[in-house]
Structure 1
């Protein structure tokens, strides 16, 4: 009769370290975070940003492959800092914010590169168009805050951003650089 109790006790002892090994969820600190985009209009760089976004990040530097990243961006929060231009960005030709209020990135794999650097593979969806993407990320710790930074280039026309007359790449270049800094509470950085 004691054998079942012993088996359950051993199973519980063996399972406890596995439960503790689960990566912890980090909480985004929006006031310290930013997502910036830079495009070229008639050859001149123009910088904008998204004012509202959220991230769900589960990460353990000891087991990065078990982590995940989910990012949502409020497309209606895009701004170039010019009222007339900002009024155009939510319209159908650009972000179509009424129909597609959020852009999303969902990771499919995290690959460690060493020295606090990682590659996060995933799927980016904007305006209902999805593309696979690999994003290089650097992680650092500043006090109790983890900082994830990186940049990548996307082709805006693949997502129908700047559609119609704005599809002319002599007016607005196809390549858009995206830079980000995500400040995260509870992120264990290397």
Structure 2
């Protein structure tokens, strides 16, 4: 249980930090190589782009975890707490449906034979001569949507627990 608790508390933050550090390091290396040595790594731009896509999807999940997504809640904040709770629950259910749908569609997309045959032109697996498949890039959608679904479910659970206390 300690491992699951650690994963629940830290997964997104460690992934976001790792991806952001990769982006910063590889962009810095690329700039130094280009402007000082007049040389560039052919694969670093694509790696940074892939890290950025993964960062977005994992960051969405983290945003749901800490409940810090941008929201226009001016009217909702003027309403009584019971109404706010019901509106929050409805919004979270809609978001959950959208994330589950995105996860399903993203999974269907990566199972598409056309996408399954695509490879990166410049990215290779280390110590091999094989191209990295585009499935790793396209997998960011279903993985991010799945992580977001879990976080939204946790928010729904917290809202229901709060509602049970308030509506007694």
TM-score category by the smaller chain? under 0.3
Task: Return the TM-score normalized by structure 1.
Answer: 0.22
Task: Return the TM-score normalized by structure 2.
Answer: 0.23
Higher relative contact order (CA 8 A, sep 6+): 2
Q: Which structure has greater helix proportion? A: 2
Q: Which structure has greater strand proportion? A: 1
